[in-house]
Structure 1
Amino acid sequence: MKFDNEQLLKYIGACTSPYHTVDTSLQMLLDSGFTELSLDDEWQLDSGSYVVNVFGTTLFAFHIGKKPEATLRIASAHTDFPAIRVKPNPVTTVKGYTKLNVEMYGGLIENTWLDRPLGAAGTVVLKGDNAFDVDSVLVDTKRPIAIVPNLAIHMNRSVNDGVKLNRQKEMLPIMMMASQQDDNGERGFVDNRNPSLFPDTKAQYDEWSTFLADEVDCDPSEILSYEMTLYPAEQGCVLGIESDFISAPRLDNLTSCFGVLSGIIQARKHNANGVRCAILFDNEEVGSRTKQGGAGMLLPNLIKRLYDALGYSNQEMDSFISKGFMISSDVAHGLHPNYPEKNDITNIPILNKGLALKIACSQSYAGDARAIAIVKGLCEEAGAAYQIYVNRSDVPGGSTVGSISSAMLPMRTIDVGLPLLAMHSARELMGANDQEQLNRLMNHFLGGK
């Protein structure tokens, strides 16, 4: 059966913030027969498939076969992506234009976000009965609500020579025209709420609070906080005369999440032996040092909790870990035909030639000779095309969560990922044939013997 890239694009379209990535992924696993667990509860485990929502933006799923001691295999990816995040108290107005005060999340290519219709997605936290009893609600506008307009070339004649954007001044999106102005053209408050919906509310709120309240269907006074991501509202697409490419936002790293989910679903479908785990971390793009990130104690604690619930001792668990294997999946740099000199001279990933095994003697990518050999064998067994990626010796590349995770949980680990062009752009480009190769590897690794 030919691989259906439309399912990948549908997944990317739904995953407009880390919260929505976890929510969408969780629903996929529940629909596939997984049982949801809570971090708050004591776990009673037996053979079966389970999933845990970790703080809303990280997901841990695992399958326990008939012989849990047989193998430990873990696949990881990350739910976050470079984006624009809305600050608290974000509304500011210049001469009647209402703008949002924002900050940049991760290493985004700033100019690619100009002139793009932007939607908003994330979570809004509402008052409860007491300070610890609050309610989180997911929000996705599913429509563009803001834009960062470019400056006309007539006002910046050197724009095509390259422009450095000031994040605090030139990256602020406009979202509306102010309905009322003072003598200086600055905004005076206008309550745009539907009076029939909030008849008894006297307080004054800015346009952003009113907008969020309308999205959630609550009074603005109920909103305590939020985490909102602005995302490119245009959908991904297959393109090229021969449909060779996929252009979409958030390919880094939703392609990996999609592959990892496919693998853990296969583990349940084939009732794979041993313990097979999938973890989708948050905060990789900002260093991973968070409670829900790969540089914290989350993964080691979850693995210990799993084996504790199955009745194994710490020594037995340490033995399982030492014999285990982990694949960390994050995207790689494909050769750019306009800049071929940017790649290594002998290890050159090409779009549509398969997934990349990412190797670095600095250990910015995890791996050793044995791990590389193992994953090559897995690819060959799975019929998954693969390539080797190494950075140019004079051009340091990025890093990912693989080395961090293997330091926190000492087991053999390898970094892999799909080659992309325009990584960290508002829209990235991948080969239309490559997702299938990653899925084949993950299906075999997590779902095979």
Structure 2
Amino acid sequence: MEEKLFHLVEKGTSAVMVVQEAARQLKEAGFEELSFSTGWGLTENGRYYVRHHDTALFAFTIGARAEFRKAVRIGAAHTDFPCLRIKPNPDISAGGYGQVNVEVYGGAILNTWLDRPLSISGRVALQSEDVLHPEIRYLSVERPLLVIPNLAIHMNREINKGLELNKQTDMLPILGLIDENLKEQKMLMDFLGKELQVEPEKILDYELWAYCAEKPRYTGIQEEFILSPRLDNLTSVQSLLTGLIRGKREIGLNVAAFFDHEEVGSRTKQGAGSLMLLTLLEKINASLGKTEEQMRQRLYDAFFLSVDVAHGLHPNQMGKMDLTNKPVLGRGLCIKEAGSQSYATDCEAVAVIEQICRKYKIPYQKFVNRSDLAGGGTLGSIASSILSVRTVDLGVPVLAMHSAVETMGAADMKALTRLMTAYYSDLDESMK
């Protein structure tokens, strides 16, 4: 399980690269790629995937009998993560250094991005003959390119009393040293031109991100922990992929949705707040020759898993947790609940997941925020408000969520993947 996660973390350096790696895994497993712009000829036992604007992807499998007589099972995760977005006109010269102008994407813990090896990933739009269809190139630089150095303690004696970073002035990465013999330098744009083998003037725009270039690794006396960038939310992406590929149902439809922009609200054309999941289900329904009424009936009994990481108990900050709901790393996946509905979980849906976990001896825990602390939210409530189906929010517990490097229990990835495999299977057969 962990090997696949490690590979996804190393290759999934931006949302577009996460989708590319997911598509590779699906294709290798025999899934057929479709397009939203064409008609679909779906078949029994079919396995398919379709990309949406490069950074979202939907995959689905149809049972041996292409019927909607049994419920639709949907799982969803997000492909994005907190990082630094590179702005247009990115090149800055300061004191002999070449820097890159960035903005913070999502709720990153800023100080964790200091003194880390960073690099660049995303997509670039180039000048083309067809003005309505620019040429799109993809880029993921594996070697470290950038660094945001801390200020030495000798220049800020109060640093250990608390560090407040300005998102505009304190988070600018250094790319290199300026050549003083040149009047004007566009260090990053020149680099992009060389990487893409085009003239920099042909680069019209881009969606490029500075990502943490550290590798995932084990830690702990028995290597019981995983220390890695992007555990939020590539743990969920990989578990859904593995579960969908391994799972098999005689009758029914399995769907895995991978949305973008969860970290900034989900209300975009690639996000869970769009109508794309509903559009997908309608297109599948029509391709199988089913009526709208048949789809409505099946969706009423559908089930939705919003898979995203949870907060684990921090041994140095135990007072930050609820009194009785304190997930510990390594003791199983985590079901998340909130009276505010920031997590979409309801008791009937939780009971379904608990029964699956108990049936197959999958360890699980529950998480609820302290009553006096506002927690985060997920795409679950947003998506379920559109589909109006039973929903559970769950995922692996982690420490340092939204840090450049997060920590999880290695055993929890196994538990989550086993649950996803059972969920996407005929439940009496999935774990034999």
TM class by shorter chain equals over 0.9
Partner SS state of residue 447, structure 1:
coil
Aligned letter for 1:247?
Answer: L
Identify the match of residue 23 of structure 2 among 23, 26, 48: 26
Aligned letter for 2:273?
Answer: A
Partner SS state of residue 373, structure 2:
coil
> Deviation of residue 173 (structure 1)?
0.4
CA distance in 1, matches of 2:356, 2:383: 21
Indicate the residue corresponding to 1:96 in structure 2: 96
Alignment check: 8 A CA contact 1:81 1:253 kept: yes
Q: Percent identity?
A: 44
CA distance in 1, matches of 2:129, 2:62: 39
> Deviation of residue 382 (structure 1)?
3.1
Alignment check: 8 A CA contact 2:4 2:238 kept: no
CA distance in 2, matches of 1:46, 1:421: 43
CA distance in 1, matches of 2:351, 2:214: 40
Listed as ranges, the matches of 1:30-109 within 5 Å are 30-47=27-44, 48-65=46-63, 66-69=65-68, 70-109=70-109
**1:278-312 CA-partner distances (Å, limit 9, x unpaired):** 00100000000000100111111111111111111
> Deviation of residue 383 (structure 1)?
2.6
Listed as ranges, the matches of 1:140-219 within 5 Å are 140-180=140-180, 188-190=183-185, 206-219=186-199
CA distance in 2, matches of 1:284, 1:384: 28
> Deviation of residue 271 (structure 1)?
5.0
Partner SS state of residue 440, structure 1:
helix
Alignment check: 8 A CA contact 2:66 2:288 kept: no
CA distance in 2, matches of 1:272, 1:104: 46
Indicate the residue corresponding to 2:136 in structure 1: 136
CA distance in 1, matches of 2:219, 2:3: 12
Question: For structure 1, which segment, 53-62 or 66-75, has the greater mean C-alpha deviation from structure 2 after superposition?
Answer: 66-75
Alignment check: 8 A CA contact 2:249 2:424 kept: no
CA distance in 2, matches of 1:355, 1:17: 25
Aligned letter for 2:54?
Answer: G
1:263 lines up with 2:243 in the alignment? yes
**1:338-391 CA-partner distances (Å, limit 9, x unpaired):** 001111000110000000000111111012111010010121233311001111
**1:145-174 CA-partner distances (Å, limit 9, x unpaired):** 111011111111100001110111010001
Aligned letter for 1:140?
Answer: S
How many residues align? The count is 424
**1:36-55 CA-partner distances (Å, limit 9, x unpaired):** 00111122222201000111
**1:60-89 CA-partner distances (Å, limit 9, x unpaired):** 000011143122000000000000110000
Partner SS state of residue 33, structure 2:
strand
CA distance in 1, matches of 2:249, 2:294: 23
Identify the match of residue 346 of structure 1 among 324, 347, 352: 324
Q: TM-score normalised to the size of structure 1? A: 0.93
CA distance in 2, matches of 1:262, 1:371: 22
Alignment check: 8 A CA contact 2:322 2:371 kept: yes
> Deviation of residue 94 (structure 1)?
1.0
Gaps of 5+ in 1: 182-186, 191-205
Alignment check: 8 A CA contact 2:244 2:424 kept: yes
Identify the match of residue 318 of structure 1 among 277, 280, 296: 296
Partner SS state of residue 424, structure 2:
helix
Question: For structure 1, which segment, 425-434 or 378-387, has the greater mean C-alpha deviation from structure 2 after superposition?
Answer: 378-387
**1:246-269 CA-partner distances (Å, limit 9, x unpaired):** 0000000000000110111023xx
CA distance in 2, matches of 1:229, 1:448: 41
**1:305-328 CA-partner distances (Å, limit 9, x unpaired):** 111111111111111110111111
Alignment check: 8 A CA contact 1:125 1:134 kept: yes
CA distance in 2, matches of 1:43, 1:382: 36
Indicate the residue corresponding to 2:392 in structure 1: 414
Alignment check: 8 A CA contact 1:272 1:446 kept: no
CA distance in 2, matches of 1:129, 1:415: 46
1:278 lines up with 2:256 in the alignment? yes
CA distance in 1, matches of 2:123, 2:188: 14
Indicate the residue corresponding to 1:234 in structure 2: 214
Gap change, CA 1:55 and 1:122, over 3 Å in 2: same
Alignment check: 8 A CA contact 1:52 1:60 kept: yes
CA distance in 1, matches of 2:67, 2:311: 37
CA distance in 2, matches of 1:348, 1:127: 53
Partner SS state of residue 346, structure 1:
coil
After superposition, the CA RMSD in angstroms is 1.1
Alignment check: 8 A CA contact 2:43 2:66 kept: no
Gap change, CA 1:411 and 1:387, over 3 Å in 2: same
Q: TM-score normalised to the size of structure 2? A: 0.96
Aligned letter for 1:150?
Answer: N
Question: For structure 1, which segment, 212-221 or 18-27, has the greater mean C-alpha deviation from structure 2 after superposition?
Answer: 212-221
CA distance in 2, matches of 1:178, 1:298: 46
> Deviation of residue 6 (structure 1)?
2.3
CA distance in 2, matches of 1:282, 1:150: 31
CA distance in 2, matches of 1:116, 1:176: 15
CA distance in 2, matches of 1:382, 1:58: 31
> Deviation of residue 127 (structure 1)?
1.7
CA distance in 1, matches of 2:206, 2:50: 22
Alignment check: 8 A CA contact 1:237 1:248 kept: yes
